[in-house]
A and B are shown apart, each in its own frame.
Chain A
């Protein structure tokens, strides 16, 4: 019974992967992927001869690490807090409210944030009432990464919270009863029962987020950034987009894609290994 599924997998997933040879070829459409001439590491060489490339790689890693590290504890804390709320309606409405932005596209949110964060925008208006000099959030290299991380977390922490809430709902109630009998208070219960119970989910979410180490959020940055903050915000994806949108350069784009996949793969594997060693957690 597995065979049709397996064939489909090979045809639609593994066979197209052979297309990565494009990274080493000078692609000429009429000759096709296989007929195009080999050029070796030319695309990689060229990519690394361009000064903006290094900047983009460094920015990508910094921004995504910031996002991963800061966005990891927030949904956990929020889920734990919400879990302690006893009023069902309040809990539900908060959950829905924080989950909503997750579904809104960056194209729309970007427009809203630009209006909010402009020098003459709403936030600076509030600041001026408080006698604080205006901050140019969108054009100042000092603040821009903060804007990226902040808005990203605001948009996505609802999703993480819902996942952890689901994990919390699955914790065996008898454990709490046992802890209560042993004299553990709310705080001790959380530390010794709740957290260890949801540890596997935390580990899984962490590994999954490590897979995004080189995806610092193309759509967000593409929409919010402008050339003045490329210094701190231009990531690999936005750079490649700028380079290839004007002239279709399939070879170069494939080369960058391949590079990204390799680095991501390494990160995921090491993340998995570390978790396996430290908390004896395994998925596979």
Chain B
């Protein structure tokens, strides 16, 4: 009897388990089918274009802007920005952007997972890679793409780009001799589509308090020494507590940009005169530059307590008027500087190029403007769909006069009340931005504002910005500063320094970079605050090489 009871209990437990499993399954299965039916109906209504249908049937005539009929499904990993709210009734996996793709391109996205944009998303996709369950189409970081290529988990997209890519797409992907896709290119094979962003992302811009400059009678800095002098004048006048906003985060902008001003490029791979690539972190210039920063620290130009402050604390300091010089990017006026101006409209900032030590302009380090690469899972039935999708997505950016259905609906959605102020583009799995968009806008806007003539602007976005800039409102200060000063400044450097090694991360780079950077960060901090001797530099170089640096250099130069 006792045994029977046990068996009975076990059976019951099993049954309950099975019931929950089937119940779960039903739920997930039912939802998509109903919605597909609904969407399918609308598809039938909205489309009557027979030409595109033929294109699918006849292989010979390839239309880069074709529409799948019958529609296909594609599982995707979708990132969601925490600031992007969906209107009522729309979710990350069912929204206007998705239905636009479904109705006009015939691709139905099914989200395998959603995760917040940035590190959480990168960690999620890394996890999916590690359990070998990846979506058909998804964005990942270069290092993860390398893992995917090694594991033969993703498709070579080169033949599909060649065959199905529109001219705009090819222009974008092969921008500047293909520098954007270099990291995911292996021989002739290309394993990822670049998620391009603005060409000036990461390019340093120097911001100095304009109102304070007027107070102390300072003029535009011609050399980095001038910047230091201005900072000291601010301090002497009792306006600032320290010279420059400087955080303790490894390789954060103020640090790298100041090192660049001294001619050092920490963290970058640099080709020497002998044609061999070495790392900027151990180059002799590094020592000169660190000595410079060390002096600035002793002089109080760099805050004595910067080691305890992360970037959030540093921003608090800027907004609390503790400092009048900061190094940011072209968008810094929008964030964080706008908050300070909103609180006190007498505050104003000037934007300058970073000057070099000894005069002239510095050559700032810049990364290629790609935030990740989209891959297609090996074995997915329609690998070309990724290319077709991207053709449609960028159509409007490169051809303002296009009348293709996707671009038309996209444009209509922009004037839709429901989506005002939202970039529905950011709801899509692969986000691309025309690399020169802001530069083009800024140069048009500068002229238009100068001539007070908004009619010369072509796109609605530019007209919208023009209204904001010329409104003179305090809350639009950031827009005006960004497009009239930030973008033009960032875009006007004579030269930018890119990584001389653009290939995929090598084996030791993947496994050892933690060790080299840990060694570097500790050394750099101690050196700047002067807690170790100058002679320690050679010891640091030795250690850096021994914990994997030597191996990386050898692998790269192979």
Contact = CB atoms under 8 A, between A and B. Distances in A.
Interface of A: 1, 3-4, 28-32, 50-52, 114, 118-120, 138-139, 226-228, 230, 239, 242-250, 252
Nearest to A230: B522
A260 B531 CA distance: 32
Nearest to B128: A29
B526 interface: yes
A63 to B, nearest CB: 18
B426 interface: no
A226 to B, nearest CB: 4
- From B143, B510, B522, B529, name the one whose CB has the most chain A CB atoms within 10 angstroms: B522
A50 B307 contact: no
A246 B9 contact: no
A227 B517 CA distance: 12
Nearest to B524: A227
A252 B514 CA distance: 12
Contacts of B143: 247-248
B147 A29 contact: yes
Q: Chain A interface secondary structure, helix, strand, loop or mixed?
A: helix
B130 A1 contact: no
A138 B308 contact: yes
B129 A29 contact: yes
Given A30-B132, A30-B153, A226-B248, A243 B515 contact: yes
B512 interface: yes
A114 B308 contact: yes
B525 interface: yes
B307 A249 contact: no
Contacts of A114: 308, 313
Contacts of B6: 1, 3
Interface in B523-551: 524-526, 529, 531, 543, 547
A242 B514 contact: yes
A228 B525 contact: yes
A249 B143 CA distance: 12
A228 B518 contact: no
A261 to B, nearest CB: 21
A164 B509 CA distance: 52
B514 A32 contact: no
Interface residues of B, number: 41
B464 interface: no
A114 B5 CA distance: 60
A31 to B, nearest CB: 7
B132 A247 contact: no
Nearest to A26: B511
Given A226-B248, A227-B522, A227-B526, A28 B150 contact: yes
A28 B151 contact: yes
Nearest to A137: B308
A243 B515 CA distance: 6
Contacts of B524: 227
Nearest to A229: B307
Given A29-B132, A227-B526, A228-B525, 16 more contacts: A1-B5, A4-B9, A29-B153, A30-B132, A50-B547, A51-B543, A114-B313, A118-B305, A119-B304, A119-B305, A226-B248, A226-B308, A228-B529, A245-B514, A247-B509, A247-B511
Contacts of A228: 307, 525-526, 529, 531
B512 A247 contact: yes
B512 A29 contact: no
Interface centre among A3, A51, A119, A226 (most CB of B within 10 A): A226
Shortest beta-carbon contacts, A-B, top 3: A30-B151, A243-B514, A227-B525
18 contacts: A1-B5, A3-B9, A4-B13, A28-B147, A29-B130, A29-B131, A29-B132, A30-B151, A50-B515, A50-B547, A226-B307, A227-B525, A228-B307, A243-B515, A243-B518, A247-B513, A247-B514, A248-B130
Contacts of A243: 514-515, 518
